[in-house]
Amino acid sequence: MHNKINLNTQVAAKTMVETRHHARQFNLTGIKKASSAISGLHDSRFRGRGMDYQESRIYQAGDDIRNMDWRVTARTGDAHTKLFQEERERPTYLIIDTNSSLHFGTKTQFKSVLASKVAALLGWSSVQQGDRIGVLTYGVNGIHIGKATAGKRGMMAMMSHLIKAFEPSLKETPTEYNLDQALKQLRTIIRPGSLVILVSDFYALGADAKRHLLQLRKHNDVLGIKISDPFENQMPLPALYGVKTEQSPRVLDSKNSRMQEKLQAKQQNHIQALKDNVVKAGVPLIPIQTDDVWVNTLKNGLTNPSLAFSHWLGSLVHKPVFRPGRNQ
């Protein structure tokens, strides 16, 4: 007899496949505009999609000297320039956080389940626009990369990758990998002109996350999806709460004034780290909670990421945060 999967707490193919029905509502080309507006960068024909070499021809007045074909010029004795055409397929890389803090939720679903749904929907949208989909996961099961592949085959590979990456670690004291380490790996394989989408709660940033994001944004478009649970964003009602951590179960006493101060400090530190490392790197950040009508929240956020993040910050005033995970 098979154990029935709880689709609100376990990442499953069924829920990710079902997001396909919403994909036509999304146009990811808007991410490029949002990204450029935040950073103040000028738009470029080389940004968004890469350029493939087409042919070389005799140099003409006004041609960009950076595109000179010196090899053909040397062989023929006449100045030649390279012609390029836009790639028909743009790689989209989904960077998914699978650390222990994602295996948590108090309303509607676990953060891990929401993260998988968001990633799947954005993946289906990319595939429908003719782009290839790749994935990089980082967490207690290590850092793993799935190469960018076109069509339904790419999506099937991505979903299988996520299911495996979100499985609980079998190690007694698993090592958690952070965004810094994930981006370092990503930069070794990514092609210029790619779209990079980060799906994370952004608790595990690392010391060099901002530097890697700034480097990525020079030749790629980057978007962040901030996953959270209401329990993290507001002070729980005064009571004793049973909390399961990776070390052992414990009790959280939200009536204790010192605990309240600790939660308030955690929230402030987390928000400041988000601003310093992600927002200041010019990455649009869209917050989504586990109890949101998340398809609508994502759709509205893509329309105006800055406004979405500002509204979320405003809702957190004087609401201490609790971080689930290892160091409670």
Share of the chain above pLDDT 90, in %: 53
Looking at residue 43, its pLDDT comes to 39
| Pair 104, 137 in one domain | yes
Higher pLDDT, residue 134 or 82: 134
- Report the CATH number that the domain containing residue 123 is assigned in CATH: 3.40.50.410
- Look at residue 197 and tell me if it is in a domain: yes
Q: Print the domain residue range for 76.
A: 54-86
Residues 76 and 188 occupy one common structural domain: no
Same domain, residue pair 64 and 200: no
> For the chain, what is the HEC assignment?
CCCCCCCCCCCCHHHHHHHHHHHHHCCCCHHHHHHHHHHCCCCCCCCCCCEEEEEEEECCCCCCHHHECHHHHHHHCCCEEEEEEECCCCEEEEEEEECHHHCCCCCCCCHHHHHHHHHHHHHHHHHHCCCEEEEEEEECCEEEEEEEEEHHHHHHHHHHHHHHHCCCCCCCCCCCCCHHHHHHHHCCCCCCCCEEEEEECCCCCCCCHHHHHHHHHCCCEEEEEEEECHHHHCCCCCCEEEEECCCCEEEEECCCHHHHHHHHHHHHHHHHHHHHHCHHHCCCEEEEECCCCHHHHHHHHHHCHHHHHHHHHHHCCCCCCCCCCCCC
283-295 pLDDT, tens digit each: 999 999 999 999 9
pLDDT at 157 over 60: yes
Domain count, the chain: 2
82 plus 102 within the same structural domain: no
Q: 202 lies in a domain?
A: yes
Question: What's the whole-number mean pLDDT along residues 97-120?
Answer: 94
| 118 in the same domain as 250 | yes
> Same domain, yes or no, for 96 and 137?
yes
Q: Binning pLDDT at 50, 70 and 90, where does residue 2 land?
A: low
227 and 81 share a domain? no
What is the reported pTM? 0.80
